[in-house]
Amino acid sequence: MAPEVLGNHGYSFSADVWGLGVIMFTMLIGSCPFEGRSVEDTYNRIKTLNYTIPKNIDPNFKKLIKKIFKLKPSLRPHLNEIRNDNFFNSDLD
């Protein structure tokens, strides 16, 4: 859940971008980025951007997820930016 949804501040398409980041993170890492011991803990982790990316993960993914996980919705990338990101366009040798 995007921070603006948690705070009842209204939301737009950028909340979907946040959700896409959560899905991508979960698929690549194998766990939810903000999962806590309780619902309250999870919400606090979202509000404070408290997540950890393992060290052995592609640096391009790290850069992309840091672009997506922004507390301020207007700072998150649009889908075209995500689609054209180096993470999706790097050579797979």
How far apart are the C-alpha atoms of 78 and 92, rounded to whole Å? 24
Q: Can you tell me whether residue 79 is helix, strand or coil?
A: helix
Model pLDDT, residue 86: 92
How far apart are the C-alpha atoms of 84 and 89, rounded to whole Å? 7
Query: Does residue 93 surpass a pLDDT of 60?
Result: no
All structural domains of the chain? 3-88 (1.10.510.10)
How far apart are the C-alpha atoms of 42 and 3, rounded to whole Å? 11
Model pLDDT, residue 91: 65
Model pLDDT, residue 92: 56
* Residue 10 confidence class, pLDDT cut points 50, 70, 90: confident
pLDDT digits (tens, 9 = 90+) for 17-71: 999 999 999 999 999 999 999 999 999 999 999 999 999 999 999 999 999 999 9
